[in-house]
Chain A
Amino acid sequence: MIAIREPRDFAEVFKTLMAMWREEGTVRFARTVLRLGHEPSAAGVMWSIGLIGTLITFAWCMYMEVVEGHAALNMLSDGINWGAQIPTYVFFALTSSGLTMIAALPMVFGFKQFYPIAKRAIWLAIITLIAGFAVLAFELGHPFRMLWAVPTGLQIMSPMFWMGVFYTIDLILLIIKFYLLWQDDWDSPKSHMVGILSFVAVILASGMLGLLFGSVVMRPMWYGSFTSIYFMLTAALSGAAMIVLSTYMAYGFDRDNMPATLKTLAGSDELPKVFATLAGIALVMILTRFWTGMWTNLDGMEGFKKLAASPWFHLEIWVGLALPFIAMMHPATNRKVGWQVASAALVLIAMFINRIEFVISGQLVPLFKGTWVNSLIDYTPSFTEWMSIAMGFFIVLMLYGLGEKLFRLHASPSTGAAGETAKVVTSVPA
């Protein structure tokens, strides 16, 4: 019987997989892989749904790419140059940054009570960033060309160049940091240093993503020195929501399944308070932005009026942010599993809507485009765009299941290497 039991490094993972394949034969091995082991588990379900979803959406997008080209992705020249995939990328990239910030609470700033979510947050930061890049790659006309054209061009004037640089550094540091935690190195000076560097990188990366929008004076709905701050703080909110939701997902939405340290954290009001604070800040930022937009007569801000009339905007503000804010502030609700999960899910939905609104509404007022676009532009994402967005979410789901199963994401310094036995073990029945 061969099983992957908490592998210590990648060499071990591959060795075990190879041995399993040899012993079980291709078909049984494939079936085992598809279910991520022989025993049913929450992680296995996430992995299978994620894997199948990723394959289907990827196949669809590739098919359309070949048959229709980028036209299928709605990338036209009439004014909406960045369709729904860019906000999706922004959503994932900022969620990743937020997760890194949450992980920094214990790892950099010494709030030890958050240790039990640190490793999971870092894993999620890695996979959301990968999902973001994957969606972005479909948006680009020449994703592979980017690999040489950006470094050789060295266009240091371009915010997009710096965004690429810092998110790449961010990803590398995250992987190193995760590897150290995998080796149960939580507290060495090296681990500490990587933690600090990674926090700095993520602040710069999300700041650069903000600059990318904030620097273009001809798009007044984006322009300004506030945009980077707005991105960083709302990133933290998405990160907090993601960690709450995913932690419960991993334990089948039942706090009793959690290891003791995590259970203590989940049952306290520490995380809900952080969460509520961030939601409150986001709410204030969005509303102040919005009423400036409604009041001003600056040419190019007309998108705000369109937002005010959109039901999505109100869903985002009242249901997606205000309600979770109240629920997480209130002592009667903020420790309840149902409210925590619902709040996290609502905030994530709100943040996704927010990214779409931000990116699209900034482009609704056309530039000098000609007689046929002379008012606000109408835009609806195409089916292929939705598929590529779904691909991003499936990738996260798939890799999250994998991480849950393989990496003991709940580990924290108190549980240590020989601490609790993980429930997640792949084993072959005798």
Chain B
Amino acid sequence: MAKWGMVIDLEKCTGCQACTVACGMENTRIPGEHWQDVIFFQEGTYPNTQLKWFPRPCMHCENPSCVAVCPTRATTKNEDGFVLVDWDRCIGCHYCMIACPYGVRWFQNQPPTYGGPDIMKEFPSGDGHTLIGEEGRNWNPPWALPEAKQDWKHGVGVGPRNVVTKCTFCHHRVSQAPKGVADLDPSDPKLRDYTPACVVTCAPGARYFGDLANPDSQVNKLIANKNGVRLLDQYGNKPQVYYLTGEGGSVPANRVIKKS
């Protein structure tokens, strides 16, 4: 069994948000629904301030609080370490959103968070939706993920209304990777197509994706040699996303980023 995990090198990250955009396009998310986000904040008070940024996907926690609270088993952790939502089971109770310390979950079907047109109305699905029984798609933009890759059981693709969504670690790509590979390195043409979109697109190469259960993987070595740390470890979720802080970066100790 693989245990997929990610390492993000904060010294290399430039905060360019390419990962955010790549994720939104790859997974056909609604504008504002950032499965992957780079959060900007200011530390200190004027004139001693620093502008900081922090990339934040779903952590695919080893001990995910979102899985424990879900009353329907719509959210599960599979044997390869993905934490996924089954859109056919989710009742939209929001409990997982309450219980995820990292704020990575979204509720489908909300008005545009940015001003401007309601993109779901601009690209209506046409198959409608009902309150009872089978649901149609929420929307249907021309750039949607190919039909063959849509997978509601694992929360991949353009989903129905009234369910919760989150980063899947690009399940549709990673789950097709050859068995036994230690790392999905986007610079290797044979593996590129199986690597999560955010990792592929990251220009400074700040993201690494590999098997945490494989002692030879580069992600394991980076964590060991460069002192990988996890976000908000005190909550006991044990993320499978590790951050390398090096000299320049830092992992926020608080979830509250105060307005100064």
Contact = CB atoms under 8 A, between A and B. Distances in A.
Contacts of B232: 218
Interface stretch (B97-105, B169-177, B200-208, B219-227): B97-105
B254 A299 contact: yes
A71 to B, nearest CB: 5
Contacts of B113: 76-78, 372
A110 interface: no
Interface string A352-385: 0000000000010111111110110000000000
A374 B73 CA distance: 31
Contacts of B102: 367-368
A219 B235 CA distance: 10
A426 B142 CA distance: 63
B100 to A, nearest CB: 7
Interface SS of B by simple majority: loop
A368 B104 contact: yes
B107 interface: yes
Nearest to A362: B98
A403 interface: no
Interface stretch (A137-145, A183-191, A336-344): A137-145
Interface in A66-109: 66, 69-71, 75-79, 81-82
Contacts of B255: 218, 299-300, 365-368
Contacts of B235: 217-218
Interface stretch (A49-57, A153-161, A252-260): A153-161
A22 B254 CA distance: 70
Contact of B69 (A79, A159, A367): A159
Contact-residue size bin, chain A (C-beta under 8 Å from the other chain):
35 or more
A375 to B, nearest CB: 4
Given A141-B92, A149-B91, A160-B95, A299 B107 contact: no
Contacts of B70: 153, 155, 158
B154 interface: no
Contacts, number: 163
B163 A141 contact: yes
Contact of A218 (B33, B95, B101): B101
A367 B100 contact: yes
Among A141, A217, A302, A372, find the residue whose CB has the most chain B CB atoms closer than 10 A.
A141
B100 A155 contact: no
Among B74, B90, B93, B94, find the residue whose CB has the most chain A CB atoms closer than 10 A.
B93
Given A141-B161, A217-B235, A76 B110 contact: yes
B103 A368 contact: yes
B111 A370 contact: no
Contacts of B100: 218, 367
Contacts of B72: 145-146, 149-150, 153, 155
B69 A77 contact: no
Given A149-B91, A218-B235, A69 B39 contact: no
B108 to A, nearest CB: 8
Contacts of A139: 93
B39 A216 contact: no
Contact of B103 (A150, A160, A367): A367
A222 to B, nearest CB: 9
Nearest to A375: B259
B91 A140 contact: yes
Given A77-B33, A141-B163, A218 B65 contact: yes
B71 A300 contact: no
Interface in B81-139: 89-95, 97-111, 113, 131-133
B91 A145 contact: yes
B37 interface: yes
Given A158-B70, A217-B236, A368-B102, 14 more contacts: A70-B92, A70-B161, A139-B93, A141-B108, A141-B163, A150-B71, A158-B69, A160-B71, A164-B71, A216-B99, A218-B65, A300-B256, A368-B54, A370-B34
Interface of A: 65-66, 69-71, 75-79, 81-82, 139-146, 149-150, 153-155, 157-161, 164, 212, 215-219, 299-300, 302, 363, 365-372, 374-375
20 contacts: A70-B109, A70-B110, A70-B162, A75-B110, A77-B107, A77-B110, A140-B92, A145-B90, A146-B91, A146-B93, A149-B89, A153-B74, A159-B69, A160-B69, A216-B65, A217-B236, A300-B256, A369-B39, A369-B103, A374-B259
Interface of B: 33-34, 37, 39-41, 54, 56, 65, 67-74, 89-95, 97-111, 113, 131-133, 161-164, 231-232, 235-236, 254-259
> Considering the complex of A and B, which 9 residue pairs feature the smallest CB-CB distances, nearest first?
A141-B92, A141-B162, A367-B103, A153-B73, A218-B101, A149-B72, A160-B71, A375-B259, A368-B103
